[in-house]
Structure 1
């Protein structure tokens, strides 16, 4: 037994080197993309912002059915009608993912009226853009309930059937702020960090579940209504992402079974730097980039 353990320890660094080299080589080669023609996709927060563009992109790339969830019926209806006019099947249900009972109830309705969801996209999110002391307690709770706990309820509602079918995909639209927080959005950064831990744990937990996989997307500041007024100090160096680009890259990541997607790719460098740089250096980076003041002009949704 001791000899076997010793052999495993000796082989471990060789295996790690092999996987790193293999992943690097595979990233240079074109990946085959899975067909979406039999997929039923449910997108939370699908009425506007990134969710709306995700719905349009999934439909454009041949999804069988697209289902929208959200709290504002007007936005959901407009998006569903736009997608239906393009020739794709799309429907919507008013559902607040922060409400556990409502999620389970609407999930049952979806199964009865539309069928089994095979791709779940957890996109719904809110941000209040205030410091801890300036934040209302109920607003802080609302962010955690929607951005984090909502994923627990939706995943628990749809993942069991995916496991039965041995076919499914769970997607999370996260944020680079989950790994590199900024002042002035403490509720959002905390909720996204929790959401990232949830997805990392879920991804590892599904390693041996045939046919079911996960994708976590970590984009830089995206130019949507939710972050209206947020200012980037050097927009030429760090331009805000366009939501349609985030949607396109996300759908491509799903089709190639990519577990984690950083947008843009330079965000990898930020995570690596944070892993070994001293706190004082990180503080200087925040001062240089203007992250201490970027939320001063934040307006968010009206």
Structure 2
């Protein structure tokens, strides 16, 4: 080991302590919030659930234009009309993010008809809620294509222009299940874990790109149609999140350039527990803190 390597190894623990202290003090200080006036936001899966509330929240924060992508025209149309009534310009386009060519085609249409997208929100997702052996192969592939690969295509479609403008934000609505998997939803947990790895890599890659940032939201069980029928072991201790709250915290994270948001904040404990506790102990803690106990009707999409 040469002198330089020795120096890095020696100072590494001190550097880690400094980073922890810096982050701790950062939580105590007020954060500057950026103005969303003039922003053009595109939300995948924007017709219902969290996507619908995101559209309303971004519009309420002054975004110039809101664009909705999804696969169900009625939901998109209803949400678009609701946003338009608030005075914000809103457009919707039918687009299946699992279809790469369709994403690129519709992205071109958006640029021509609406303009440059400055905030991309990857919210579209599906879940089938079955074990591996009970899952249809096509359903398993569908989850991976929509929940993970769809983000590849949308980001490739809109990020280059953001980098040219030195202005933009990429958002991912992920799930705490990307960090703490559960039985009976193997397709969803796997796709969300892949999505988290994707966003972590993207976030690091954007550190050297001035004006362009990213945000990953990791919510607990959210009370939407997508998870209708889910039961939590201790509903009074760990009630499902309200989709309005998830939308509000997402927009707040964009305004403060927060990279990762855990909802509720107590879910941060999972990261620590997975680092220090063995498999069996973590399983018991998950059962206590909110393991899902009913999977039979756990299926949906956004």
Same fold (TM over 0.5): yes
Q: Is the 8 A contact 1:231 1:298 kept in 2?
A: no
Structure 1 residue 233: Cα displacement: 1.1
Tell me the equivalent position of 2:55: 55
The whole-number CA distance in structure 1 between the counterparts of 2:239 and 2:64 is 34
Can you give the 5+ residue segments of structure 2 that lack an aligned partner in the other structure?
none
In structure 1, the residue corresponding to 2:238 is in which secondary structure?
A: coil
Q: Indicate yes or no: 2:270 matched with 1:273.
A: no
Tell me the equivalent position of 1:19: 19
Q: Is the 8 A contact 1:233 1:294 kept in 2?
A: no
In structure 1, the residue corresponding to 2:265 is in which secondary structure?
A: coil
Tell me the equivalent position of 2:242: 242
Structure 1 residue 13: Cα displacement: 2.7
Quick one: structure 1 residues 75 and 42, their matched pair in 2 at CA, closer, same or farther if it must change by over 3 Å? Answer: same
Quick one: structure 1 residues 218 and 70, their matched pair in 2 at CA, closer, same or farther if it must change by over 3 Å? Answer: same
Q: Indicate yes or no: 2:151 matched with 1:151.
A: yes
Tell me the equivalent position of 2:116: 116
Tell me the equivalent position of 1:43: 43
Q: Is the 8 A contact 1:44 1:123 kept in 2?
A: yes
The whole-number CA distance in structure 2 between the counterparts of 1:9 and 1:201 is 24
List aligned pairs for 1:129-148, cutoff 5 A: 129-148=129-148
Tell me the equivalent position of 1:81: 81
Q: Is the 8 A contact 2:238 2:289 kept in 1?
A: no
Root mean square deviation, CA, Å: 1.7
The whole-number CA distance in structure 1 between the counterparts of 2:268 and 2:105 is 39
1:79-133 deviation per Cα after TM superposition (whole angstroms, max 9, x unaligned): 0110110111111111000000000000000011111111100000000011111
Structure 1 residue 286: Cα displacement: 4.0
Tell me the equivalent position of 1:102: 102
1:182-220 deviation per Cα after TM superposition (whole angstroms, max 9, x unaligned): 011100000000000000011111111111111000000
Q: Is the 8 A contact 1:129 1:295 kept in 2?
A: yes
Per the normalisation by structure 2, the TM-score is: 0.96
The whole-number CA distance in structure 2 between the counterparts of 1:270 and 1:133 is 28
Q: Indicate yes or no: 2:210 matched with 1:215.
A: no
Tell me the equivalent position of 1:202: 202
Structure 1 residue 280: Cα displacement: 1.4
The whole-number CA distance in structure 2 between the counterparts of 1:260 and 1:290 is 21
Quick one: structure 1 residues 292 and 47, their matched pair in 2 at CA, closer, same or farther if it must change by over 3 Å? Answer: closer
Query: For this pair of structures, how many residues does the alignment match?
Result: 302
Per the normalisation by structure 1, the TM-score is: 0.96
1:160-182 deviation per Cα after TM superposition (whole angstroms, max 9, x unaligned): 11111111111000000001000
Quick one: structure 1 residues 59 and 171, their matched pair in 2 at CA, closer, same or farther if it must change by over 3 Å? Answer: same
In structure 2, the residue corresponding to 1:274 is in which secondary structure?
A: helix
Q: Is the 8 A contact 2:121 2:170 kept in 1?
A: yes
Structure 1 residue 16: Cα displacement: 2.2
Structure 1 residue 292: Cα displacement: 6.0
Tell me the equivalent position of 1:164: 164
Structure 1, 16-25 or 237-246: larger mean CA deviation: 16-25
